[in-house]
Amino acid sequence: MQLGTVTLFFLFIFSFLPSQYGAEVYNITPSHPLAEGQTLVSPSLIFELGFFSPNSSANKYVGLWHKSIFPRKYVWVANRDNPLAATDTLATLSIGSNGNLELVDGKQSSVWSANISNCSSAVLLDNGNFIVKDGMGADLWVSFNDPSDTHLPRMLLGYDSGSGKRNFLTSWKSENDPSPGLFLVGLSEELPAQLYIWTNGSTPHWRSGPWDKSRFIGIPTSNSDTSPYLNPWTLVDNVPQGTRYLSYSFDKIPGANVFTYADISSEGILRFLFSEIGKNWYLAWKSWNNPCDNYGACGPFGVCKAYESPICKCLKGFIPKSNKEWSKRNWTGGCVRRRNLSCETNTNESISSKGKDGFSKLERLKLPNFHEYLGSVALDKFEDCKTRCLSNCSCLAYAYVDNIGCLVWFKDLFDMQQFTAFGEDLYVRLAHSELGHVELIARRLESTSRIQIHRDGLRDYIGKHDFSELKIYDFDNILIATDNFSITNKLGQGGFGPVYKGMLPEGMEIAVKRLSSSSRQGVEEFKNEMRLISNLQHKNLVRMMGCCVKEDEKLLIYEFMANKSLDTFLYDPTKRAMLNWATRFNIIQGVARGLLYLHHDSYVKVIHRDLKVSNILLDEKMNPKISDFGLARIVEETHSLDNTQKVVGTRGYMSPEYAMGGIFSEKSDVYSFGVLVLEIISGKKNVSFYCYDQQLGFLAYVWKLWNEGRALELVDEVLGDSYSSSEVMTCVHVGLLCVQDNAPDRPTMTDVASILSSEKDGPHPKRPVFTIQNSVYHLGSSYENTNSSINEASITMIGGR
């Protein structure tokens, strides 16, 4: 009896000992091992190390995480390929008599060790580095040299070719299994270096493009000037010492007090996430955005264009290796040269000089893999680079990249992607006979930029059609009509300049848009563009009546819309009620039809690029008319003449791919349309939309309601119960389909029109990742130190070259 009590007492003490012993400790010493129930914390309690079982699995590990951020991200795991049993409560992380730091299970056998001796203590630093020291305080071992799947700020990823030490990130096997998975992230040894994701140890899965001393040139989003959040990397390449290390830091952003990590997911996607203490983790960037990001998506000599269909094209002068496979969309075989190079077939110098090979230029490219770097041989000029390549028949292409120098290719051109903005120029060697027509185009491209080709097409078009309808107004008459552009006549400020109300002598009311004078477009070109736009006619587009050009002044004359723009109703507490459900539904359908026309039914495809509530005008019968279409194009073209690409649009309406990479397509308009639809239903201009502080952004909130079958709660409360539930459900569904993160998942406007008219059921929408957008905006704002009022205005971001 007595004995039994004592035993029980001991068992009691024993099982509770560790937690009573002090749950948080600041170091591990030979006399104080870390046991179950205890954690090792960093001095400022930022990081914590201890035992964990991922999602209550049967395995237990020692890992390291941010102490105050949930859900936990295990940024480092010690025994990832040798788990403890979850039931083993006697395991300890201890410094043994041999001076080694070891993780031992309940039977005292080692499951993990730092493989050192003379260890006297182990501590966790506030940057997340777990270090083991000797008696003199020197570091014997640090966890930063042995990363799991996560890269933390201040951690160096790379190699030292002297000592042969090299580190990688290795993905988890699955979301809940820390054992080493398929994917490896690391730096390549070539010069300049690239960041790679490999599978199976050495098969490329994704690559960043070469480092140009400030960024990886194959990643459209790492634009150092305007979005520092997206180019946090620093690569230190010490060629003489043979060391090369990648680190990252978000210190460049003033006031951004956030925690971050980069990791490789078990599906092979490299990501950046960030958080504030106590908040969730948010995605800021990811390596995979479309099928073109798959390494070598289009095979040798194939170029991937994410927003065209089909996505793969052969380079100029090349044809599919197998037409049969190619037409089945099996791109792996790639393309082959149509005509042999003359340097291959003609060894006779006098013949080959007649029919010399030349180069065709490709723009906005993620350059192919397997470059050779000629930068070091006193080659700093573009012409030298060209000559060098031309003089060797095996040289297939060259590129001269600012901040890098001359790159040439001797192997099959592989893994090329063409962006819509951003990217480098590549010159591809072709036979003289092939150049006949290619060079013609190239020459045109070089002298007048690609826009000119558009215009040539336009001129042809104008030549064949009657464009007499565009009226050219006299400037003085417009001055009179608008009271010398008096402030009292000003209707508003659009993205491209102020808009004034005017009254023509015959009593007709007009709206006059005064384009900001920065546009350096020539008068004739301007008029041609206007003819183009004025001939886009649809009952859901604002009709352009004419234009007026005088010196720097460029004016557009539109029909006047009696009920102004949708935002004057939607965001006005009293006028909002005038928009009953029938009117709202009519507006949604009308905008959809207008957009459908611009994208698919007009004679030239027009992408609006700045669709938003204030660009929807209302006529006297409250019919919606889209305004400002086609203008983005003019503005962009003007700027592209001086070689900058701009992202024009409005915060909150911009699709992730457009906001981040300047990649725009009709699917970016579809995204904006989705946001518009959800705003019309809810009547909310939701500021939290832009702000990740709100636990859930607007889109996340809509998604949640929809998923919980509560979508009707989204309806503007001023409508009471007077709405059609089935119409609302259809509209919310369409809205969510349109705001899907991945552009190819979004419906086309043709799909949208048929879903809205109930001809077709839509698929189930995927959860939007909205946090990308939120993070960009939030950090963008804090960087510019502006407040939310900027969200209203159209903004222009430099998209980079």
Ligand X SMILES: *[C@@H]1O[C@H](CO)[C@@H](O)[C@H](O)[C@H]1NC(C)=O
Positions marked active-site? 610
Nearer to ligand X, 46 or 367 (CB): 367
What's the CA dihedral at 59, 63, 65, 68 to 10 degrees?
A: 70
d(CA 588, CA 680): 8
Q: Which two tokens stand for residue 508?
A: 């007709």
Contacts of 652 (CB under 8 A, 6+ apart): 675, 689, 690, 773, 777, 791
Q: Are 466 and 539 in contact (CB under 8 A)?
A: no
Smallest distance, Å, CB 320 to ligand X? 9
Q: Are 389 and 397 in contact (CB under 8 A)?
A: yes
What does the H/E/C string look like for 94-140? EECCCCCEEEECCCCCEEEECCCCCEEEEEECCCCCEEEEECCCCEE
Nearer to ligand X, 397 or 596 (CB): 397
φ/ψ of 197, rounded to 5, equals: -110, 125
Residue number of the CB closest to ligand X reads 333
Nearer to ligand X, 199 or 640 (CB): 199
CB count in 10 Å sphere of residue 349: 8
Q: Which two tokens stand for residue 286?
A: 């990811």
Nearer to ligand X, 229 or 701 (CB): 701
Smallest distance, Å, CB 143 to ligand X? 9
d(CA 522, CA 781): 35
Smallest distance, Å, CB 203 to ligand X? 5
Smallest distance, Å, CB 591 to ligand X? 17
Nearer to ligand X, 20 or 55 (CB): 55
- CA 531 to each of CA 534, 537, 546, 617: distance values in angstroms, whole numbers, following the listed order: 5, 11, 8, 22
Q: Are 686 and 628 in contact (CB under 8 A)?
A: no
Nearer to ligand X, 103 or 756 (CB): 103
Of 612, 614, 569, the residue nearest 716 (C-alpha): 569
Nearer to ligand X, 21 or 370 (CB): 370
Nearer to ligand X, 118 or 234 (CB): 118
CB count in 10 Å sphere of residue 85: 13
Nearer to ligand X, 461 or 783 (CB): 783
Q: Which residue has the tokens 């939290």?
A: 688
Q: Which residues bind ligand X (CB under 6 A)?
A: 55, 113-115, 117-118, 146, 175-176, 182, 199-200, 203, 322, 325, 330, 332-333, 339-340, 344, 348, 350-351, 392, 394, 410, 483-484, 562-563, 578, 620, 622, 686-688, 698, 701, 787, 789
Nearer to ligand X, 42 or 352 (CB): 352
Smallest distance, Å, CB 207 to ligand X? 16
d(CA 616, CA 613): 5
Smallest distance, Å, CB 610 to ligand X? 22
Of 630, 622, 667, the residue nearest 543 (C-alpha): 630
Query: Would you tell me the crossing angle of helices 523-534 and 631-640 to the nearest 10 degrees?
Result: 150
Q: Are 50 and 63 in contact (CB under 8 A)?
A: yes
d(CA 527, CA 548): 9
479: amino acid identity, one letter: L
Q: Are 608 and 667 in contact (CB under 8 A)?
A: no
Assess whether the previous peptide bond of 147 is cis (omega < 30° from 0): no
Nearer to ligand X, 199 or 796 (CB): 199
Which H or E element spans position 75? Answer: strand 74-77
Q: Are 144 and 158 in contact (CB under 8 A)?
A: no
Residues β-bridged to residue 553: 550
Edge-to-edge, what's the strand order for the sheet holding 34-35?
A: 34-35, 92-95, 101-104, 110-113
- CA 689 to each of CA 281, 463, 465, 745: distance values in angstroms, whole numbers, following the listed order: 17, 47, 45, 22
